[in-house]
Amino acid sequence: MGPKNEKKDGGKKSRDGMGKKRQGGTSTLITPKPVVKTIDFPILQFPRSVSKSSQSAGIVIKKWCIENRVPVGRSNNAVPVFFLNVGNVVEIRQQNIRVPGDDNRWTEIVYIHNEFSKEKKKWVASTITGWVNELYLDPYYEKYSNDEVKILHPTEDPTDARQYMIWDGDVRYNMCGELCVAHIIKKDIDPKSTLESVLQKWKDSPNKGSFSYTPRTIKFGTNAPHLKDILELYPAYNGLIDGEPILAFRDGLKAGVLSWEGMKDRLNTHYLVALVVIDKTGTLIPRDKDGVQHWVLVEKVTRNGNRVELYNPFPNRLQEYSFNEFASSCRVSLSGLWVKRKRPLRSGADGAAQERPFEVTLDVPKPPHYQAQQYIDREGGKKTQLCGEFSVAYVLGKSLDSTSSRWRKNQPELMDMLTILKAYGSLSGDGTQRKPFTIGAVLDCWRETQPQLYKHHVVENRPTGTRELISILRAYGYNNPEDFVGFQAGLMDTATRKVLPSPGRMAKMLKTHYLIAGVGIDGTTGRLKSGRAVRHWVVVERMLPIGRHYQTRHFGGNGGWVELYNPFTNILEEYSYLEFTNSMSESGAWDGLWVKRQIQPLFKPQQALFPTAEGRKGRVGNAGKKDAVPKWNEEKLRALIEKKLRNGKAPERVLNELSRAGTGWSMEEIASRIPNIKKPDSAQTDDLEALTEHVCKNLGIDSIPPEVGEWLRTQSGGNLSLAADLASILRNTGVLSVENKKGGFTETVMPLLQDANPVTDVIASAFVARARDAIRVIQAGLAEEQKKAIEESTKKKSDDEAETVIPKTKLQIFRVRKYGDPIMIEQAGADFNTKAVSSNFGVIPLYCPEDETWSAIAKHVKLNRSDVDELRKLQVPDQFTVNQKMNWLIYSGEGTRPMWTGDENVDWKRAKEVRAGAMAYAGQLVTVDGDVEFFTRLRGDDPAKIRVPMKRIVCFRRSDWGKTHATHPYLVVKATAVRGDNVYNDKPRGVIYSPVMFDPRDFPFAGGKRVQAFYIPTAWLEPVDPSEIHIP
């Protein structure tokens, strides 16, 4: 039986609400009833109306309404002049207009409203103009024009299917077959032909047979023999010319199989009239759905067999569908005809099928018997649930060039470089070659930063949610608030807080973001599918909306095209908009994660996360929710630690239990709060020999140069794990050469490799340059020290120069006297009014016995970039920002303030090193650990030396970073100043914190002879009751 397009019964009425009267059957997506509630319309003063519609390159801009009961209004009137409903298409006069007193953007529209007049008994068109909230309009684009075949007598109802016509005085609905034939006649025989002329020729034909023209056929529809009967009325198709011009659908296929390979050659020389199934909007749907049989004509197949261009009589226009949509819509019987073209298509117009390259690089080839490209061997077994991890790897891989370009202009800090090189897995173990960015690098990074999540999802082969994907992205610098956003939050209007996931909004969002979307796929082929399907992550690259589609509402066609990355095949694939959205959810309940394409990487320590119920079930998560386990407050954590210890549990067991309890605290944080336990993975040492031994053991060698060891200790702050990582990078980049298990310092730099990993090229080269220069300086300093040591050891020391033995006493805390104190005025000249000092910084010089000098500036130590970052962390914003405090503390130039950069053109933010003077802050605490008398001058202009009782100051070590003024006020003090009349000020830019004095054993010393310690006269100190201050 032929396709029968039954028209619904019912009287005439306005069709502005829901669009056309459609054919029988049900659609794939059910159109909901109109929204009852009317959207409010504010009283506003709009700009002056313009007479002509907004145009772009001569094309009228159109949009369509995506909601029901959307008011169209005018200036100073709260009563709308009209209401648009979903599907209504409007022309644009002005758009993106801001109106005073309102946060929305407004568009001036022109709408042609059609309504059936009972009085006139015909359809009447009226023009509506006014202003609409732009929120409810989406761009409207159709690739092909209407009325492909001319119909002289269409039905009057503008909402009818375009194939409906008046013939022999009656409305004819089932004209799809005749229109397909008329399309061929128009293209190949008579460009001026119409549907009526084809019908009349068929009706007037003298040759009558079983499939000739009859009123019943015109009413109920045609079969393939009817269409052949019409075609054979024309000499080109009657079989007398050029062999057999008409073939049955199946007979024209290679081996009778419907595939692109099976039909592409035939399609070059023939049209294909095929019987498909459509819904009530005229959209092709799968043949197993409840729909209507319908004839379409296939023009060609493009995009390597992915797109089918066909003529659809229902809208009387050309349309595009995916080949999968077309094939699944064809009847099982493959009813249809191949009709020979007058002019064959250009041979190979679409080219041969080209294999798309794999997007994410595998560390090792996939075993041949594994079905999906995302199936890999890892952790001793086959892993099948890595679509989320592959999706993140794709996003990161696509960002390599832009990320490396940004880092080429603004190099990150040294420790960030280490993080980057480890995260991107860019260097091979032996340092001989660069490696491309791989899925293995992503998984390795996740294992290190989130071991619990890695174990649960990778080792145990479980699917991931957005929470887990975010945790991977954070390790790569996606830590800015705007770097990712949940699917719904990304499509939320800021003014109304409405979520409107329209195709236009999604396409616009994709210009700046990737969309990691949760879809359903066929578990065997990996193709997107709706209904019962395997849940799966994909990455949407771009979207081209066509027609009118919005969640569950659609008005014909397949909605356009979506290009996406599919981890199952590990390639880019193309689907129609409807295929994509139906695979997400046919109900419109979509979810996913928007990830920004261009970011400014920000590296932060990661909070330990633990598996959740969401992650265990593999559900699609929502990035709008918190992406971490709620963190316990410290009181709750400490209370549970004490309770477990009181119950007799060993500290190590307590740590192990709480690390798995989902407290939100990292293992290191928990360990720091448990007494008598060694912190895991954070072993610390100030001993250069111990650090060197650890590094050598990690590298599998016997020794490293002393300058390299000193650099590792300086950069790592004594952290053994960090020192080992730095040493590995030095070896892999060639800075640390290894021969016969002995390390050597070399300036060799690995050559940059093209087509490898651009991040490696940029970061590794910058890392090498910075490390090499710093090690050079240390090398020169060590050589100078060794030379001086040899010279001094050959000299005979006089009795006065003999080394003073300083008895070590119990730690004591004192307060440094302030400016204006009589003792300080007399002995130190600490009187601002006499201008004994040239600045208003309240600092007191310290004594250096090695060359019997007092200096707050000439004697100084050097802080590296990491030290400056730690110094910044000490600052707490109050009425002044952290940057303002650091600007006060560190001077851009030579020693004018407590610390300085040494270059007036370089501030503390860009300085590779900063110098800190040998000084104590007046009015602040110091700790001393030894008493001694020195025979020296108190002031440089004193006529003679005297014996001065002094105390040795306990200085700030590298291992003290992390301590604060609240916990250690004698190590981390307040920076002070002094004004006229010796007014003391401990809040020069709010409260500014600084280490008491940097220990020259840890921080490189400069300015004369190297000192071992600093001293302060006992008289310059005031006693402090130790019971008032905590001493660890």
- Provide the percentage of residues in the chain whose pLDDT is more than 70: 85
- Provide the percentage of residues in the chain whose pLDDT is more than 90: 39
Alpha carbon of 462 to those of 382, 451, 486, 613, 628: distances in Å?
A: 12, 14, 22, 12, 18
Looking at every residue in the chain, the average pLDDT score rounds to 83
Strand (E) or helix (H) holding 550: strand 549-550
Q: Where are the domains of the chain?
A: 55-139, 165-340, 376-386+395-475, 484-598, 688-793, 808-1028
Beta strands in 303-364 (DSSP E): 307-312, 317-322, 336-340
Q: How do residues 835-888 score in pLDDT, each as one tens digit? A: 544 456 778 888 888 778 887 777 888 899 889 989 999 999 888 888 899 988
Q: In the predicted model, is pLDDT for residue 714 greater than 80?
A: yes
**Mean pLDDT of all residues in 791-797:** 55
Q: In the predicted model, is pLDDT for residue 462 greater than 90?
A: yes
pLDDT band for 458, please (50, 70, 90 cuts): very high
**Mean pLDDT of all residues in 184-204:** 94
Residue 480 or 8, more confident: 480
Q: How do residues 359-394 score in pLDDT, each as one tens digit? A: 999 988 889 999 999 999 999 999 999 999 999 999
Ordered alpha helix ranges (H), 189-223: 195-204, 215-220
Q: How do residues 1006-1020 score in pLDDT, each as one tens digit? A: 876 778 888 999 999
Token pair belonging to 824: 């300080």
By three-state DSSP, how is residue 714 classified? helix
State the amino acid at position 855 in one-letter form.
S
Residue 864: phi and psi, rounded to 5, are -85, 180
pLDDT on residue 835: 53
Residue whose C-alpha is closest to residue 301's, from 352, 357, 369, 242: 352
pLDDT band for 225, please (50, 70, 90 cuts): very high
Least confident of 145-149, 606-610, 816-820, 845-849: 606-610
pLDDT band for 795, please (50, 70, 90 cuts): low
SS percent in the chain: helix, strand, coil, step 5: 30, 25, 45
pLDDT band for 545, please (50, 70, 90 cuts): very high
Whose tokens are 């080109």? That residue is 236
**Mean pLDDT of all residues in 677-693:** 70
Is residue 17 within 8 Å of residue 68, measured between CB atoms? yes
Q: How do residues 104-121 score in pLDDT, each as one tens digit? A: 899 999 999 999 888 888
Residue 526 or 755, more confident: 526
Residues sharing a CB contact under 8 Å with residue 81, sequence separation 6 or more, in sequence order: 72, 73, 74, 128, 130
Q: Are strands 890-891 and 899-900 parallel, antiparallel or unpaired?
A: parallel
Q: Can you tell me the distance from the alpha carbon of 28 to that of 277, in angstroms, rounded to the nearest whole number?
A: 11
pLDDT band for 539, please (50, 70, 90 cuts): very high
Q: How do residues 60-103 score in pLDDT, each as one tens digit? A: 899 999 999 999 999 888 899 999 999 999 999 999 899 888 88
Q: In the predicted model, is pLDDT for residue 627 greater than 80?
A: no
pLDDT on residue 802: 42
pLDDT on residue 278: 95
- Residues 6, 9, 15, 20, Cα dihedral to 10°: -10
Task: Please state which CATH class domain 55-139 belongs to.
Answer: mainly beta
By three-state DSSP, how is residue 252 classified? helix
pLDDT on residue 785: 74
By three-state DSSP, how is residue 913 classified? strand
Q: What is the pTM of this model?
A: 0.68
pLDDT on residue 347: 61
Q: How do residues 410-451 score in pLDDT, each as one tens digit? A: 778 888 888 888 888 765 554 445 567 899 999 999 998 898
Is residue 548 within 8 Å of residue 504, measured between CB atoms? no
Homologous superfamily (CATH) for 165-340: Cysteine proteinases (3.90.70.10)
pLDDT on residue 793: 58
Residues sharing a CB contact under 8 Å with residue 447, sequence separation 6 or more, in sequence order: 454, 458
pLDDT on residue 5: 42
C-alpha Rg value of the chain to the nearest Å = 40
Q: How do residues 715-736 score in pLDDT, each as one tens digit? A: 888 888 888 888 888 888 778 8
pLDDT on residue 956: 93
Is residue 500 within 8 Å of residue 583, measured between CB atoms? no
- Residues 765, 767, 772, 777, Cα dihedral to 10°: 140
**Mean pLDDT of all residues in 731-748:** 78
Q: Are strands 122-133 and 105-117 parallel, antiparallel or unpaired?
A: antiparallel
pLDDT band for 798, please (50, 70, 90 cuts): very low
pLDDT band for 18, please (50, 70, 90 cuts): very low
Q: Can you tell me the distance from the alpha carbon of 602 to that of 970, in angstroms, rounded to the nearest whole number?
A: 33
pLDDT band for 749, please (50, 70, 90 cuts): low
Token pair belonging to 788: 């001086």
Reported residue count of the chain is 1032
Q: How do residues 388-403 score in pLDDT, each as one tens digit? A: 999 999 999 888 877 7
**Mean pLDDT of all residues in 297-322:** 93
